[in-house]
Structure 1
Amino acid sequence: MSKEMLNALDALEAEKGVSKEIVIEALEAALISAYKRHYGQSQNVEVEFDQKKGNIHVYAVKEVSEEVMDSQLEVSLKEAITINPAYEIGDRIRFEVTPKDFGRIAAQTAKQVILQRVREAERNIIYNEFSAYEKDIMQGIVERQDNRYIYVNLGKIEAVLSKQDQMVNEFYQPHDRIKVYVSRVENTSKGPQVFVSRSHPDLLRRLFEQEVPEVYDGIVEIVSIAREAGDRSKIAVRSHDANIDPVGTCVGPKGQRVQALVNELKGENMDIVEWNEDPAVFIANALNPAEVSDVIFDATNPKACTVVVPDYQLSLAIGKRGQNARLAAKLTGYKIDIKSESDMKDFYAQLDNDGIVEEIDATIDEAETILNDEATSVDE
């Protein structure tokens, strides 16, 4: 242990960013454990690393006492005075006890400590690097898969793609290049763990930012996304510039921009609709490609509505297995009940037959009469 050790510590600090002081502190603690393990565990010892010469010294620390009960931990006042007359009871004295063959043990211990610190430093560097990519997309290469995960090589680390984060219409083969959304990064006891997704709705958001400059610049905003990964998605957009059509901008000339995303997601269909501050208009847009005749909001539940569509548009509005209506509900945040025009006519006719309409009219007439009487009383 000499200047080679100091050179190694300097190189470690320069290349890996590991502070020399932290390594020396860890090394001294490890050497204390190594000394006790080889030369007696009951001693109270300290290890000192000479940062100028690279030498290591081991000291047994003993407390000055009137009567010595344990010679490994205590020294008599009489003996202490012979060393230095200024010593008093309770003082601590260090005796150098560095063994002749301690250099070999120290070298082995130093190697273990340095390797451990290098591993920790590399883990921290990787964690900090990939934490910066959290909520963003990266390109990776499929390495292998097991019953739980598909492992995607992102360069310095292997990320995991769980089954729920995979797309139902995709089959992954080794060496496939795929774009993935970094959903979260965890610093575990075994090192950094990166979780990625192909089904996350925000994957669409990031892909649009890459493909559409207006979205990246914030001129066109993606307000909400409803996605059934691998099958169909709906995206609500709005423009912060009156001269720019948000839907046309995202679709691109001859549909080139949206087609690039459809190709990336292996044929996933996309409906891009315009957001509107009027909920009725927004809900009608969200049910695209179906035509909407009317939107009736529930007075008892502000987040529920009934959408009326022409009879021939009913199946289109609902969609295959209810997909269109389900995605529209996710996109708008409203509970949507879809009825055809004939169903609504039958519904109103039933109300009329039950006398409910007449009852409502009578109630309105009675209320108007009371108000008129009250107005006459005030005039008098």
Structure 2
Amino acid sequence: MSLLNLPGLGQMVEVISKERNLPKHAVQNALREALLKGYERFRKTYRSDGITFEEEYFNNFDVELDLEGEGFRVLATKMIVDEVSDADHEIGLSEVREVAPEAQAGGTVVVDVTPEQGDFGRMAAIQTKQVLAQKLRDQQRKIIQEEFQDVEGTVLQGRVLRFENTSVIVAVSSGFGQPEVEAELPKREQLAGERPYRPNMTLKVYLKKVFEGSRRGPQLLVSRADAGLVVYLFANEVPEIEEEIVRIVAVAREANPPSPAVGPRTKIAVDTLERDVDPVGACIGARGARIQAVVAELRGEKIDVIRWSPDPSTYIANSLSPARIQEVRLINANERIAHVLVPEDQLSLAIGKEGQNVRLAARLTGWKIDIKNLAKYDYEEEDRKIQESSARIIEPYDQSEQDDENDYADDPE
């Protein structure tokens, strides 16, 4: 069989494999596809013979690499027929029987169609080089997607590499001994308190998304602002969470508040089914050691750990920690509206700086929380409003029932 020489083929595969962090078989696949595209260009440019090349015309062609012989062959799988009408896809039965007497029409045979060294021209070589670069990028994307899809939604160790506009490019690895891969940390996912980032700075990042298909830039999107990072850090520091004795029920995080005057803050609700376990105390740790480890990783972010409760009033009161709550009134359970009554000296604490405390409590509990001054709260007026609101809901319902009764009364049967 003929061979088109590619001096240093084996070494080239080795170098590309190391430079691109690709396994050798992936590099060889990319090279085969690129050489096949080069062959297609050669045929269309120099050996068209008046043929109209459809998109799938070369589907029966393949390239075989010979690393030891430092070259490649072009092979075509052809149908054995009595009379040939398409030389690229068919071969005569009489010709095949010269080397394989037992051959029958309707079978297939692989034929060496490698062009001469001089025929495979400059244009084909350029096409091969361009396609190879693209195929290598495709292989890298495919391998990254396969490698990191299983760890999407987990936390990875990152290392700052460089900066592109407002994004930080960090190096991450899917596991011990695995090569590093670039990931993008966009501005919206950064922590304002830890900027400016410095090259080689190490930090834990939450793998938020693995992009599929072609995309300019890194295939991985990581975050320092996602609530998932807080969940991971607590699970890492609190053995009771890892052992499922304590469970994290809900998390509300404001890593980048709308105003620079307000610092980042997180509220986390925890619970347990074990009577002798204090879930809040387990998360805080002896002398606050566990929660301080989490706070340190988040560069001083304020964290409130509160006890979850199935009772909405208790849960809402707990969520507004550290404010002291006098009473929680569930105004409308369907629309999840609650009035929270606090002493005057607790108003600012319950609301928080620029409303941050009550905003996070509302997100944590899923209730619309209205903080009220206990001294100025008019129970009678608020009860009257509740009754009027209920009446507006009941009246249409009662009217529809009356309409139904009238319909039955009018029925001749």
Contact 1:59 1:98 in 2 (8 A): no
Q: 2:284 aligns with which of 251, 270, 275?
A: 251
Structure-2 change in CA distance of 1:347 and 1:110 (3 Å): closer
The answer to whether structure 1 residue 152 and structure 2 residue 170 are counterparts is yes
| Residue of structure 1 in register with 2:116 after alignment | 100
Instruction: String of CA shifts for 1:304-334, please: whole Å, max 9, x gaps.
Output: 1111112222222112212211111111111
CA distance in 2, matches of 1:259, 1:37: 68
Letter in 1 for 2:210: V
| Residue of structure 2 in register with 1:56 after alignment | 73
Alpha-carbon distance, 1:216 to partner:
1.7
Contact 2:82 2:94 in 1 (8 A): no
* Aligned residues with identical type, % of pairs: 35
CA distance in 2, matches of 1:289, 1:82: 90
Letter in 2 for 1:133: V
Q: Show the 5 A alignment for 1:259-270.
A: 259-270=292-303
Contact 1:60 1:96 in 2 (8 A): no
Contact 1:214 1:249 in 2 (8 A): yes
Q: 1:39 aligns with which of 46, 49, 56?
A: 46
| Residue of structure 1 in register with 2:241 after alignment | 215
- What SS is found at the alignment partner of 2:358? helix
Contact 1:294 1:309 in 2 (8 A): yes
Contact 1:24 1:49 in 2 (8 A): no
Q: 2:349 aligns with which of 284, 291, 316?
A: 316
| Residue of structure 1 in register with 2:375 after alignment | 342
Contact 2:138 2:214 in 1 (8 A): no
TM-score by length of 2: 0.67
Unaligned residue ranges in structure 1 (runs of 5+): 85-89, 357-380
| Residue of structure 2 in register with 1:170 after alignment | 194
Letter in 2 for 1:145: F
Unaligned residue ranges in structure 2 (runs of 5+): 52-56, 98-105, 174-179, 256-262, 388-413
CA distance in 2, matches of 1:215, 1:168: 29
Structure-2 change in CA distance of 1:289 and 1:96 (3 Å): closer
CA distance in 2, matches of 1:322, 1:60: 72
| Residue of structure 1 in register with 2:254 after alignment | 228
Alpha-carbon distance, 1:34 to partner:
3.7
The answer to whether structure 1 residue 187 and structure 2 residue 205 are counterparts is no
Instruction: String of CA shifts for 1:49-100, please: whole Å, max 9, x gaps.
Output: 678998736779899889x9x9x8999x9xx99999xxxxx99999987543
Contact 2:344 2:375 in 1 (8 A): yes
Structure-2 change in CA distance of 1:92 and 1:245 (3 Å): closer
The answer to whether structure 1 residue 306 and structure 2 residue 339 are counterparts is yes
Structure-2 change in CA distance of 1:35 and 1:244 (3 Å): same
Structure-2 change in CA distance of 1:198 and 1:64 (3 Å): same
| Residue of structure 2 in register with 1:87 after alignment | none
Q: 1:122 aligns with which of 135, 140, 163?
A: 140
CA distance in 1, matches of 2:380, 2:349: 24
- What SS is found at the alignment partner of 2:309? coil
Greater CA radius of gyration, 1 or 2?
A: 1
- Please, what is the CA RMSD of the aligned residues? 4.7
Instruction: String of CA shifts for 1:280-313, please: whole Å, max 9, x gaps.
Output: 1111111111121211111474411111112222
Structure-2 change in CA distance of 1:314 and 1:114 (3 Å): closer
Letter in 2 for 1:33: E
Structure-2 change in CA distance of 1:21 and 1:279 (3 Å): same
